[in-house]
């Protein structure tokens, strides 16, 4: 097995094997009638910082953080938050249970909801499988064109989900935040096994995903927040404490390609600025 894959699998498996012995899963509470003031929807890109600031009150499988982007946004704006973000979530998990003790994320929405943030879609594109292939030195280019097709395929389901939010929370403003810069041109040694051409393929995939969700936001009346420009210099090749995502040689979260505490803060700042700019 390739060294990069061994590293990734061993780190992730180690984290998941330890957590069940420390934290017991709890059911997600049903919101009060009318829905929460601010509801956060999404996957691990919004939910978790890995082993850091682990939220013991959330369902274990969600690996939710007490210092994730939604919680920082809520604190900055002084809003009551119902954080439904959950690791490994797909678009279908917005309307169906993701697992034991995990209610559909849309259950938090209602007429009292004023703000909804959405960060979801990467898992629907099989991103993890393609990224692993790119780190394993496969054929060039490592993920195209199949990855492009999988990204484009989420467009209808994504737009439908945004329309459903409008129906369930008719008084809410909806903000969709995209994916920041993960990999600088050429990559770096911390991204073990990722050749420069493959590094470009991975970043192009995230940029394409941004294009798809931005289009979904535009056609449904949601606001798209572009996090990429301000993330320059904070990619996985940046030094610890500066980077917004951990690389394969993860030292902060133990979860490669996932946000660090610095990353969650950086993304939250961008989203808060976008929300304030929209009034």
Confidence at 102, pLDDT banded by 50, 70, 90: very high
The span from the CA of 116 to the CA of 129, in Å, is 29
Confidence at 135, pLDDT banded by 50, 70, 90: very high
pLDDT at 12 over 90: no
Confidence at 140, pLDDT banded by 50, 70, 90: low
Residue at 22 is within a domain: no
Residue 24, pLDDT score: 33
Q: Specify the higher pLDDT residue, 221 or 142.
A: 221
Residue at 78 is within a domain: yes
Residue 142, pLDDT score: 83
pLDDT at 18 over 50: no
Half-sphere exposure in the Cβ direction for 256 (13 Å, CA): 24
Candidates 119, 135, 234, 258; catalytic one:
258
Is residue 80 among the annotated active site residues?
no
pLDDT at 21 over 90: no
Residue at 173 is within a domain: yes
pLDDT at 58 over 80: yes
Contact 1, 134 (CB under 8 A): no
Q: Specify the higher pLDDT residue, 248 or 140.
A: 248
Candidates 44, 65, 87, 231; catalytic one:
44
The span from the CA of 104 to the CA of 92, in Å, is 9
Residue 201, pLDDT score: 94
Confidence at 256, pLDDT banded by 50, 70, 90: very high
Residue at 21 is within a domain: no
Is residue 258 among the annotated active site residues?
yes
Q: Where are the alpha helices (DSSP H) in 36-145?
A: 44-47, 69-77, 127-135
Contact 11, 254 (CB under 8 A): yes
What is the total count of domains within the chain? 1
pLDDT digits (tens, 9 = 90+) for 182-240: 999 999 999 999 999 999 999 999 999 999 999 999 999 999 999 999 999 999 999 99
State what percent of residues in the chain have pLDDT above 90.
84
CATH number at residue 203: 3.40.50.1110
The per-residue DSSP string of 4-45 comes to HHHHHHHHHHHHHHHHHHH----PPPPPPTT--SEEEEE-HH
Mean pLDDT of 148-166: 98
Residue at 17 is within a domain: no
- H or E element that contains 223: strand 223-225
* Containing structural domain, residue 77: 3-11+29-277
Residue 139, pLDDT score: 56
């Amino acid at each position: 097995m390739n060294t990069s894959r061994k590293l990734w699998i061993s780190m992730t498996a180690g984290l998941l094997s330890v957590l069940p012995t420390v934290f017991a899963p709890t059911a997600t509470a049903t919101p009060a009638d009318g829905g929460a003031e601010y509801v956060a929807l999404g996957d691990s890109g919004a939910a978790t910082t890995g082993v850091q600031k682990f939220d013991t009150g959330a369902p274990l499988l969600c690996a939710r953080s007490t210092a994730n982007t939604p919680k920082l946004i809520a604190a900055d704006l002084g809003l009551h938050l119902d954080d439904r973000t959950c690791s490994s979530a797909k678009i279908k998990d917005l309307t169906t249970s993701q697992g034991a003790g995990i209610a559909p994320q849309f259950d938090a929405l209602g007429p009292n909801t004023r703000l909804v943030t959405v960060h979801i879609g990467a898992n629907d594109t099989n991103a993890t499988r393609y990224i692993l292939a790119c780190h394993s030195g496969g054929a060039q280019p490592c993920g195209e064109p199949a990855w492009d097709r999988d990204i484009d395929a989420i467009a209808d389901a994504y737009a439908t989900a945004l329309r459903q939010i409008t129906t369930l929370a008719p008084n809410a403003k909806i903000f969709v935040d995209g994916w920041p810069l993960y990999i600088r041109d050429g990559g770096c040694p911390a991204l073990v096994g990722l050749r420069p051409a493959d590094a470009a393929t991975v970043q192009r995939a995230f940029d394409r995903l941004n294009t798809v969700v931005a289009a979904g936001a535009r056609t449904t009346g949601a606001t798209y927040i572009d996090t990429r420009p301000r993330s320059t210099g904070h990619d996985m090749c940046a030094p610890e404490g500066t980077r917004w995502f951990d690389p394969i040689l993860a030292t902060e979260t133990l979860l490669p390609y996932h946000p660090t505490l610095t990353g969650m803060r950086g993304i939250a700042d961008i989203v808060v600025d976008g929300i304030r700019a929209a009034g």
